[in-house]
Structure 1
Amino acid sequence: MGLGALTQFQLLDAIPVLDRTAQNFVIEAMDDGVVVVDADDRIVNLNPQAERLLGNEGFDVGDTLPETYTDRGTTADGEGEDRNAVTPFAVDGAERYFEVDVSDLRDYHDRVTGRVVVFHDVTERLTREQRLSVLSRVLRHNLRNEMNVVYGYADGLSVESPADEAAVDLIKRKALTLVEQGSKAREIQEFLENGNPGGDPVDIGAAVRSVVARTRDAYPDVAFELDLPDEETACPAVVESVVENLVTNAAKHNTDPDPVVSVTARRDGADVVVAVVDNGPGIPREERAVLESGRETSLEHGSGLGLWFVTWAVDHADGSVSFEEADPGSAVTVRLPRRPTG
């Protein structure tokens, strides 16, 4: 259990046998730096880990902790909440990064009597994320460039038989697929790093029509059917990217002689429910299982990134997604919270 939970539910005070000595032991035993300040942000207690950090900054018990650490904002209704930010500290001559989490302390009249400030070392995590970001960017860049070269050479090959033509077409298709996957990986990384599920809400009807118009141009042989709300129905902005990935996936992989992709959207209480149904070969059972479990193994793994993006984006927006078989084809249902209109 984190310290935020302890302070939020006053757990330390709710257990009579847990005296002040035990409380201090709990705090001092934590790996994180913990500082307790009063209502005026004066330091009243801190554990050894925090002493190590703040001692280098010249702070001790009785000093006022700067707003840099204590002022992380409040919720819209004025209630305090856990607030996070990353702050650098010099530790043993090296710069390390700490996530600062602030929780309000309240008395039995719900008055703020102080705050608990927790410093959690995230240096290794940030370093790992930075290295993965660089590795991903370099791989995507090299992949795109090398596949463009492969495609160019394949396009210039002389074709002397139907077998040669089929082989060249296969090479070109595979090269384009890898280039597209590189672009999709970049889109996913940018969303995960910068995505804001709140964003500016969009009307689901307008978003779906815009997506289908673009997809229809790319896949003119596919018939698209729409069933959308007449009234404006606002939902998180990410819905447009989610629907685009689902509609594109349904159209691209549809091998039926008369391919059809239908998109329906409706209100359901406080949510918006969007369903994309096609009459194609469907999403393999193994891939659906991987997507719904949220993890891959060496034996079970997804084949593409588009559906992973859908899963992560919907989860990021506090929604849900389900993958089911249709007869024939597949049906993907997305549920997202509605947003206020106007």
Structure 2
Amino acid sequence: MHSTRIERVPDAASPAQILDLLDEVYYYLGAGGELLQWNERLPEVTGYSHDAIEEMSATDFFVSEDRARIREAISTVVSDGREVTVEAYFLTSDGERIPYEFVAKPVVEGGETRGLIGIGRDITDRQERKHELRRLENAVKHAGHAVVITDADGVIEYVNPAFERIAGYTREQAVGETPRILKSGNHSEEFYEDLWGTILDGEVWNGEVVNRRRSGERYTVNQTIAPIRGHDGTIEGFVSIQDDITGRKLREQQLEVFNRILRHNLRNKGSVVIGSADTLAESTGEETHRERLETIRESMQSLIDLSKKARDAGDLLTGVLDGGATCELLPALERIRADVLSSYPEADISIAGEPAPTRRVNARVTPAFHELIENAVKHADGATARVDVAVTTDATTATVRIADDGAGIPPQDRHAIENGTEEPLSHSSGIGLWLTNWLVAYAGGDIRIDVSDRGTTVEVTVPYSEEDPPEASSATDLDCRRR
């Protein structure tokens, strides 16, 4: 095929020189698709020399799967005399694939199409953006949370399938409406004014909202709304992510009711059982009967105490987990030692170790240390309970080693502490031990237990925490004590 290279005119600003300055590929094809002219961008992009290009047809520059579309585009321009845009991949001399968009217009002389002329633009960045948008769209489409996108006035522009499933509105029914279609009447106007005031100020709003499905059923979501900003920083719209927590809220309410009723009835009925046992014990002369009644009394009192401890553990978790305070470890352990000795004055509790005073740990773990030290004292062998507490540190963590000479923690309780699970036929009896596991886990630490003939050793390793911010310092001493 004959090709004509664009001639260069060194002393004048010729059209050829201007074309060579373009970032786009310029080309001129004959009516049969033969390559007649091109600018310097073509060899720069493809890696082919001018001599090699003169021997190539227009379709030779493209990957095999795109060549039929290139031929069809050329035929359309020549036969129909109209502009055509087509995307295809250049195949360079070293095998690289580069996405390009080609625009071709007919060259008409005397009413007859003599060829076509056009340019090709590198669309790599555009393709990457499209790919990212497709990935994002696919992620949003398959997300389990409802996603709603609105314009700056709150008119819905997009909802994902999870929203359709949760709210009961199809995409067609929701787009063009506002989120007021979900309004349940459970919230005051002040609630919505605060919400809108937050997001219009460019801030992110988060909270629980009671919505109403299209069927009229109410449901609760944990909702986050964030502004979408344009290139100039102005708010162009909002995106809302809604997590349906209706089932969780219902379970929490059920547990709260069941626990309250159980504790109330256990306390009241248990007191009746204990009182009746005491009355019977006083009226009977049989030693065997008194022993059995005492067993009934002790067992009932144990259940009442267990119920109280479960309530206290729940209150403790709620309070401690909401806080962000930190503690100096040794002073916190000394306070725990004093507290345990006030209840068990005959115990012998020693504390050793000198961690750097500026290194602090999460205050959430201090109730766990209290539980472990008190548990060691209560289950010690001999008349005097001896518990040795040792603190060691490294660059990032502190380890508290609690050793006693007692009979050891039962296997089912060890399993609860170390793994946070129970065997189907072996349940932990210690709420305090479960509490220990939860608190240490929340603080990012771990627990190891060693039981031998000499007693039990529990090691708790926790990471250091950052210093308390100024506003948290007043709460530190309180949070470092067992509540």
CA 1:141–1:90: 2 relative to 1, 3 Å: same
Most deviating of 160-169 and 170-179: 160-169
- Report the counterpart of residue 131 of structure 1 in structure 2: 254
Mind listing any 5+ residue stretches in structure 2 that lack a counterpart? 1-126, 183-191, 474-483
2:147 is aligned to: 34
Q: Specify whether residues 114 and 265 from structure 1 end up closer, same or farther in structure 2 by C-alpha distance, changes over 3 A only.
A: farther
Residue 244 (structure 2) pairs with residue 121 (structure 1)? yes
User: Is 1:88 matched with 2:215?
Assistant: no
User: 2:401 touches 2:459 (CA, 8 Å); kept in 1?
Assistant: yes
Q: Residues 152-163 of structure 1: matches in 2 within 5 Å?
A: 152-156=275-279, 157-158=281-282, 160=285, 163=288
Separation (CA, whole Å) in 1 of partners of 2:328 and 2:179: 52
The answer as to 2:337 corresponding to 1:212 is yes
**Aligned position for 2:116:** none
Instruction: State yes or no: 1:203 paired with 2:328.
Output: yes
Residues 205/173 of structure 1: CA separation in 2 closer, same or farther (3 Å cut): farther
Q: Which amino acid aligns with 2:314?
A: Q
Deviation at 1:228, TM superposition (A): 4.1
- Three-state SS of the structure 2 residue aligned to 1:225 is strand
Secondary structure of the structure 2 residue equivalent to 1:332? strand
Partner residue, 1:229 = 354
- In the other structure, the counterpart of 1:7 is none
Q: Give the aligned partner of residue 77 of structure 1.
A: none
Question: How far 1:182 moved relative to its partner?
Answer: 0.9
- What is the Cα deviation at residue 169 of structure 1? 4.0
1:46 to 159, 167, 170: 159
Residue of structure 2 equivalent to 1:335 = 461
Q: Which residue of 2 aligns with 1:5?
A: none
Local SS of the residue matching 2:325: coil
Within 2, Cα distance between the matches of 1:14 and 1:259?
A: 69
Give the equivalent residue in structure 2 for 1:144: 267
Displacement of 1:150 after TM fit?
A: 2.8
2:436 is paired with a residue of what secondary structure? helix
Structure 2: distance between partners of 1:258 and 1:317: 33
1:324 CA displacement:
2.3
Alignment partner, residue 283 of structure 1: 409
Q: 1:290 to 1:245 in 2, by over 3 A?
A: closer
* Distance change >3 Å, CA 93–CA 145, structure 1 → 2: same
Give the alignment of 1:67-82 within 5 angstroms. 68=195
Compute the displacement of 1:249 (Å).
Answer: 1.4
Q: Secondary structure at the match of 1:187?
A: helix
Structure 1 CA distance for aligned equivalents of residues 397 and 152 of structure 2:
40
Kindly state the Cα deviation for residue 280 of structure 1 after the two structures are TM-superposed: 0.6
Q: Which amino acid aligns with 1:205?
A: L
| 3-state secondary structure, aligned to 1:280 | coil
Structure 1 residues 70 and 149, CA gap change in structure 2 (3 angstroms)? same
Between the aligned partners of 2:243 and 2:153, the Cα distance in structure 1 is 23
SS in 1 for 2:407: coil
Counterpart in 2 of 1:293? Answer: 419
Partner SS state of residue 291, structure 1: helix
**What TM-score, normalized by structure 2, do the two folds share?**
0.55
> CA distance change for structure 1 residues 299 and 274 in 2, over 3 Å: closer, same or farther?
same
The aligned amino acid for 1:227 is A
CA apart distance, 1:137: 1.5
* Cα deviations by residue, 1:128-168 (Å, 9 ceiling, x for unpaired): 11111110121112212222333333344237466455434
Partner of 2:56: none
Distance 1:103 1:323 in 2: 46
Aligned to 2:398: 272
CA distance in 1, matches of 2:260, 2:146: 34
**1: distance between equivalents of 2:307 and 2:327?**
28
More deviation, 217-226/127-136? 217-226
Tell me, in whole angstroms, the C-alpha distance in 1 between the residues paired with 2:287 and 2:353: 46
Say whether the 8 Å CA contact 1:223–1:261 is kept in structure 2: yes
Is the 8 Å Cα contact of residues 70 and 102 (structure 1) preserved in structure 2? no
Q: Tell me if the contact between 2:355 and 2:391 (Cα under 8 Å) persists in the aligned partners.
A: no
Could you list the structure 1 runs, at least 4 aligned residues long, displaced by more than 6 angstroms after superposition.
13-19, 37-43, 103-107, 112-115
- AA aligned to 1:256 is G
1:322 aligns with 2:448: yes
- 1:149-205, Cα deviation, whole Å (9 max, x unpaired): 333333442374664554344333323321221112112222444433643323322
- Give the 3 Å change call, closer, same or farther, for CA 257–313 of structure 1 in structure 2: same
2:378 match: 252
Letter in 2 for 1:294: G
Task: Give the number of the structure with larger relative contact order, counting CA–CA contacts within 8 Å between residues 6 or more apart.
Answer: 1
User: Aligned residue pairs: how many?
Assistant: 312
Per the normalisation by structure 1, the TM-score is 0.74
How far off its partner does 1:242 sit?
A: 1.1
**Which blocks of at least 5 consecutive residues in structure 1 are unaligned?**
1-12, 60-64, 73-79
Change (3 A) 1:252 1:170: farther
> Any conservation in 1 of the 2:326–2:360 contact (CA below 8 Å)?
yes
Q: Any conservation in 1 of the 2:155–2:179 contact (CA below 8 Å)?
A: no
Alignment partners' CA distance in 2, 1:45 and 1:271: 48
**Which of 163, 166, 178 is residue 303 of structure 2 equivalent to?**
178
Contact 2:403 2:458 in 1 (8 A): yes
Partner of 1:246: helix, strand, or coil? helix
